[in-house]
Structure formats: structure tokens, C-alpha cells
């Protein structure tokens, strides 16, 4: 009698989940891939969707298209609402109701969500850009703010509508701040003559005393210098302590009138990790063994942003970045095959290819392979080239390249449309109260 094929369930179609699925394409296993979206998002460019630089379809690709022809895989569109590690089942909510799916081996690659550090007001009145939906919502909001400012008579009201506050000094924060400033100064000032007299005001706030904490000191200083040369106000060593519909208050007592608060200050593991019933590490991450299996659980692999594993080279947990997720996915797939074949698994070893962040036109910092420190134009070219190569699909690469070339030579951004004017956030409405600053 033929033995039953091993059932592999993968939760999450991000970089980690997709790469596990692709690495198992020739294995004699049956794969179930579950995700609440039917597309994969190239998350490093979400900020460009939010700032009218790219269309959502430029950075999203259908999951079924990516895995087309992989005969050992089924894709289920739904949200995993529960994991029973004893019965080895997943409960998935779909448009047709709940379904229970069995598995022999589980790969949890559910990623991370935005952390507001327990502040419900900040969560309520801010925008996050960790998803395509969030980026579109922010884009709609920014466009509406300028449409409203064009008809506002009170200069103070116009100033609040066109002041943008970005919180978080990591790569996402500085990229968003720089891109918002360029959108304001290169595009909107020419298209909204009513506000042409206003100077762009984009404020980047970071609680620590430095931007890009993992980078060398030279690159951290270069990031601040390039942001300030662009025109962004960089505020270090302060926090947002209060968020309201029409203003935010900082830890130094300063109050900033604004209707746009972009939150890029932290992430935490997906709440789905709690379903495993194991103690979690800092940031809601699941502790894993060297072979990427969850500590205390049999047949459960946790990879990507959700995994907590100390890197022996640094003594710190592996960072929640895409290269880690991809490399962990390949190791997990190899260990699954080894498990099936009765071979010994191999420990995960991370090869750090370096870091980079773009700040604006011809402005960036890059640290390829943690050896060469690049700033300015050459760092920017490095960033552009690698992000084009990392995109999935020729059509996506061509579309992004054309948009970037158009923007570079025309100082314009072509995707300035409000997708759903019926959806409005409380942050859009002008504050009922006025404060003295």
C-alpha cells in the first residue's frame, strides 16, 4: 500500500511563506498555502504607493500567478483564526465560512503587525504602511488634505492640513519622510497654486538620539544630513505622547497642528503566534530552535518576522528584514525534506548582505555586505538597481522602472488619484478644537 504524502501547511504568502512553497515544489509532499490576500506585496516599496509614486499593481503580484504550475500546492484564500498543535489542524475563515484543515508539518510565516506600544489614541489617529490597504488609505488621505487646503481661507488651517508628521527613524520612516517632502515640493506646489506660498513641512520624529540605529555612525550622520538638506525637519530624542484628530503633542511639550500622523515606529509579531500556546519573546515573537522549529512544539516551523532566534555573530535576535525571511525559508524547506528522509536538520546561518535606505532623489545610504559605506548618488543607484532586481515579474519591473524614469525627468508622480472617496478617517476631519503653539 502506498504511504500517504506528508501534508505541509504554510500560513502566510509573504517572502518567507512563498519561498518555502517554491523550495518544496519538487518534494513529494502536499502543500496548503493560506493567506488572507490573494497577492504577494513587495513591502519595501509600499511608501511609494502611499506617496503617489507607484500604482498598487506595480508592487503586488497574484499568488496563484507566482506559483502557477506547482502541482503539489493548493492555495486557500482565508484568515487563519486558530491553530491546534495537538490535533494538528488549522481553523481558517473563508468567504464561505470556517473550515478546518489538517497538517503534518506547519510552517508559520504570518509576519508582523504595527506596534503602537499600547497607545490606543495613536492607533486610532495614525496611519501605518505595513500593508497595501494602509498605503492606499494614506495616499487617499494626503490627496484629500491638499484638496481641502486649496479651498481653506485660514492660513493656520491650511498649514495644519499640509503638515505631515512621520514617527520612526528606521528605513521606513526616513523613506516616507523624504518621499512626502518631494511629493509636496516637486508636485503639489505646482498643482495647488492656492498653497504655493506655504513652505513644505515634513517632520520626522525619532525617540532615540539617532536614525538608522543598526548602521555605522558615518551613514547615520549622512542620513540626517541628507534629510535636512532636502528640507525635512528631523527631531531626535523626542516621542509622540498624545495624538488627537488635529494635533500631536511631543514629550518635550511641543504641540504640532497636523491631520497626518504616519506611524513607522515599531512592529510586533502577528497575534496568531498566541495560538501556539507557548511563551513568547519580546515583541510577540516565537522562540525557535537552531533548525527553526518552535521551542516545545513538534513539527512546527516558525520563520520570518515572527521567529525569535539569537544570531551567534551579533548576540542579538535576527532582524525582522526580508533577507532573513528568505534565507530562513530555504533552511526550513531543506530541514522539512531532511525530516521526511530521516536525515539530521541543519542549523540556520544568516549571511548578511548589508542594508540600504533611500531618502529622496539622488539621496540614500547603503552598506552592501557590511563593508562598503555609500552615500548620496551612488547609494541611490545601488538602491534602485537592487530593488528592481528583487521585484517579482518582468511586467512589474518594467512598470516600476518607467514610473521612476518619468518621475526623475519630469519631477511628477502619475498616480495621484483618490481610489475610494467614500472611506474617510477621523484624522481627515479638521479638529474641532484649536490649540496655541
For 78, which DSSP code?
Answer: S
Q: Which of 100, 32, 44, 22 is nearest to 323 (CA)?
A: 44
Q: Give residue limits of the domains in the chain.
A: 6-36+78-114+267-341, 120-264+354-428
**Phi and psi, residue 338, nearest 5°:** -60, -40
Give the residues across from 114 on adjacent strands. Answer: 267
Q: Convert the pLDDT of each residue in 156-205 to its tens digit.
A: 999 999 999 999 999 999 999 999 999 998 899 888 888 878 888 999 99
Residue 297, CA distances (Å) to 209, 254, 279, 294 in order: 40, 49, 11, 6
Q: Convert the pLDDT of each residue in 262-309 to its tens digit.
A: 999 989 999 999 999 999 999 999 999 999 999 999 999 999 999 999
> Which secondary-structure segment (H or E) carries 174?
helix 171-182
Are residues 308 and 288 in contact, defined by beta-carbon separation less than 8 angstroms?
Answer: yes
- Cβ atoms < 10 Å from Cβ of 267: 21
Work out the average pLDDT over 314-342: 96
Cα–Cα distance, 168 to 176 (Å, whole number): 10
Q: Convert the pLDDT of each residue in 82-137 to its tens digit.
A: 999 999 999 999 999 999 999 999 999 999 999 999 999 999 999 999 999 999 99
Helix (H, G, I), strand (E, B) or coil at 432: coil
CATH topology of domain 6-36+78-114+267-341: FAD/NAD(P)-binding domain (3.50.50)
To the nearest whole percent, how much of the chain has pLDDT over 70? 94
Is the pLDDT at 436 greater than 60, yes or no? no
DSSP 349-415: -----EEEEEEETTEEEEEETTT--EEHHHHHHHHHHHHHHHSSSHHHHHHHHHHHHHHHHHS--S-
Are residues 180 and 258 in contact, defined by beta-carbon separation less than 8 angstroms?
Answer: no
Q: Convert the pLDDT of each residue in 375-410 to its tens digit.
A: 999 999 998 888 887 776 656 777 888 888 778 777
Q: Do domains 6-36+78-114+267-341 and 120-264+354-428 have the same CATH topology?
A: yes
Q: Considering the domain 120-264+354-428, what is its CATH architecture?
A: 3-Layer(bba) Sandwich (3.50)
Burial 43-60 (b: 16+ CB within 10 A, else e): bbbbbbbbbbbbbbebbb
Provide the pLDDT for residue 432: 37
Are residues 244 and 121 in contact, defined by beta-carbon separation less than 8 angstroms?
Answer: yes
Cα–Cα distance, 180 to 186 (Å, whole number): 10
Catalytic residues: 175
Amino acid at each position: 500500500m502506498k504511504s500517504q504524502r506528508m501534508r505541509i501547511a504554510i500560513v502566510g504568502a509573504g517572502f518567507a511563506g512563498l519561498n518555502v512553497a517554491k523550495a518544496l515544489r519538487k518534494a513529494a509532499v502536499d502543500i496548503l498555502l493560506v493567506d488572507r490576500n490573494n497577492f504577494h506585496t513587495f513591502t519595501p516599496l509600499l511608501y511609494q504607493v502611499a506617496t503617489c509614486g507607484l500604482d498598487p499593481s506595480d508592487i503586488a503580484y497574484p499568488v496563484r500567478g507566482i506559483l502557477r504550475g506547482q502541482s503539489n500546492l493548493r492555495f486557500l484564500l482565508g484568515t487563519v483564526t486558530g491553530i491546534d498543535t495537538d490535533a494538528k489542524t488549522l481553523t481558517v475563515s473563508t468567504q464561505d465560512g470556517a473550515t478546518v484543515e489538517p497538517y503534518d508539518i506547519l510552517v508559520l510565516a504570518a509576519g508582523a503587525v504595527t506596534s503602537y506600544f499600547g497607545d490606543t489614541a495613536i492607533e486610532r489617529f495614525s496611519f501605518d504602511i505595513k500593508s497595501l490597504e494602509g498605503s492606499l488609505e494614506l495616499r487617499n488621505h494626503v490627496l484629500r488634505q491638499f484638496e481641502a487646503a486649496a479651498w481653506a481661507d485660514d492660513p493656520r488651517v491650511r498649514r495644519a492640513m499640509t503638515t505631515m508628521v512621520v514617527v520612526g527613524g528606521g528605513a521606513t520612516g526616513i523613506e516616507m519622510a523624504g518621499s512626502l517632502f518631494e511629493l509636496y515640493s516637486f508636485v503639489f506646489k505646482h498643482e495647488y497654486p492656492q498653497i504655493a506660498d506655504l513652505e513644505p513641512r515634513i517632520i520626522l520624529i525619532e525617540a532615540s538620539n539617532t536614525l538608522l540605529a543598526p548602521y555605522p555612525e558615518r551613514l547615520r550622520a549622512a542620513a540626517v544630513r541628507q534629510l535636512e538638506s532636502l528640507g525635512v525637519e528631523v527631531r531626535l530624542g523626542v516621542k509622540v505622547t498624545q495624538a488627537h484628530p488635529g494635533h500631536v503633542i511631543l514629550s518635550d511639550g511641543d504641540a504640532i497642528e497636523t491631520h497626518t500622523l504616519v506611524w513607522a515606529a515599531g512592529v510586533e509579531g502577528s497575534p496568531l503566534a498566541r495560538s501556539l500556546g507557548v511563551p513568547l519573546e519580546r515583541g510577540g515573537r516565537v522562540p525557535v530552535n537552531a533548525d527553526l522549529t518552535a521551542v516545545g512544539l513538534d513539527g512546527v516551523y516558525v520563520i520570518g518576522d515572527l521567529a525569535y532566534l539569537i544570531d551567534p555573530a551579533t548576540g542579538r535576535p535576527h532582524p525582522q528584514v526580508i533577507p532573513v525571511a528568505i534565507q530562513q525559508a530555504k533552511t526550513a524547506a531543506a530541514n522539512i525534506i531532511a525530516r521526511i528522509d530521516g536525515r539530521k536538520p541543519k542549523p540556520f546561518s544568516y549571511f548578511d548582505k548589508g542594508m540600504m535606505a533611500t531618502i529622496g532623489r539622488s539621496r540614500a545610504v547603503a552598506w552592501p555586505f557590511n563593508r562598503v559605506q555609500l552615500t548620496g548618488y551612488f547609494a541611490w543607484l545601488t538602491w534602485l538597481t537592487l530593488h528592481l532586481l528583487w521585484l517579482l515579474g518582468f511586467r512589474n519591473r518594467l512598470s516600476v522602472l518607467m514610473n521612476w524614469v518619468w518621475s526623475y525627468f519630469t519631477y511628477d508622480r502619475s498616480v495621484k488619484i483618490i481610489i475610494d472617496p467614500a472611506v474617510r478617517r477621523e484624522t481627515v476631519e479638521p479638529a474641532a478644537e484649536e490649540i496655541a503653539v
